[in-house]
Amino acid sequence: MQKIIAANWKMYKSRQEARKTAVDLRGMLAAEDLPGKRVVIFPSFTNIPDVLDVFAATPCVAVGAQNFYPASEGAYTGEISLAMLGDMGVSQVLAGHSERRHLLGETDEFVARKTSFALNQGFSVMLCIGETLAEREAGDLVRILSRQTGSALADLPEDCLARLSVAYEPVWAIGTGKVAGPAEVLEAHAAVRSRVVRILGDAGRNVPILYGGSVKPDNAVTLLELDNVDGLLVGGASLNAESFMQIVRA
C-alpha cells in the first residue's frame, strides 16, 4: 500500500510564506526518488491557489482543503462548498479533524454528513478520528473510535471506498509534543482496522489508516514501521519544508 504523508498547515502562513514553503518542498522532492510515497498538502483556503500552482507539475503531490460545508450551495455565511473547491482544482478534503470536533462543535453526525457528501461528489476524504485523554484513561478508546468510525462510514457506496482514508489522531497528542507510544498506536490502529473491515467488508483492508499527533522527523520512522500505519498526518512539523521533507523520507 502506498504511504501517504499529509501536511496540515492549519491557520498558518501568508500567501507569500505558503508559496515559499511549497517551492522549497518542490525542489527537495525533485531531487529525491521516493517510490511508494504520496504527499498531500492541506493549506488554508487563501493559500490553496498558490500551492496548487507550485505543485501543478508534481504528480506525487496533491493539494487539499481543511474544511467544507456539506451542501451544494446556500445561505451558509462563512462556509465554502465543494464546487468552489473543485473550481480551484482541489479534489481532496479533511473531515472530522479534532480541532473542528472539539473547538468548533462538529458532531459525529455532522462529520458523517460531510464524509458521505464529499465522497458522493467525487472527492477524496481523509476522515479524522481520535479520543481525548479522559476517554483513553476511562478505558473508552475502542468505543470512541468505533462510534466515530461507524457513524462516518455507514452506508457508503462501494465505488467511493478507493477515495477514503482514515487518520487516527489522539486528541491529547495534537500540538502537545506528546506522542502515542508504539503499543498505544498499534492498539488504536488495530481497533480502527477491525471496525473499518466490519463495516466495509474486505474492501476495508485497503483503506489507508494514518497516524497524526505530534509527528516529528525523529519519530516518523518508528511510526511508519508499525502494523496498520499507512501514513502520517503532520501538523507543526509540516510548516517547515526541511522538517516535513525529513518525514517524507522516513
Residues 173, 191: Cα–Cα separation, whole Å: 18
Residues of the chain with pLDDT under 50: none
The label of the residue with cell 460531510 reads: 114
Residue of 106, 131, 169, 189 marked active site: 169
Q: Is 189 a catalytic residue?
A: no
The pLDDT value recorded for residue 52 is 98
At 177-223, the pLDDT tens digits run 777 899 999 999 999 999 999 999 999 999 999 999 889 999 999 99
Report helix, strand or coil for 230.
Answer: coil
What pLDDT sits at residue 216?
95
Q: Is 97 a catalytic residue?
A: yes
How many Å apart are CA 174 and CA 235, to the nearest integer? 8
Domain coordinates in residue numbering, the chain: 3-249
Amino acid at 117: F
Predicted local distance difference test score (pLDDT) of residue 223: 96
pLDDT at 173: 78
pLDDT for the residue 63: 98
pLDDT of residue 172: 84
Q: Which helix (H) or strand (E) holds 198?
A: helix 182-200
Catalytically annotated residue among 97, 99, 106, 189 = 97
The cell for 19 is 508559496
Q: Which residues contact 142 (CB under 8 A, 6 or more apart)?
A: 191
**What CATH class is the domain 3-249?**
alpha beta
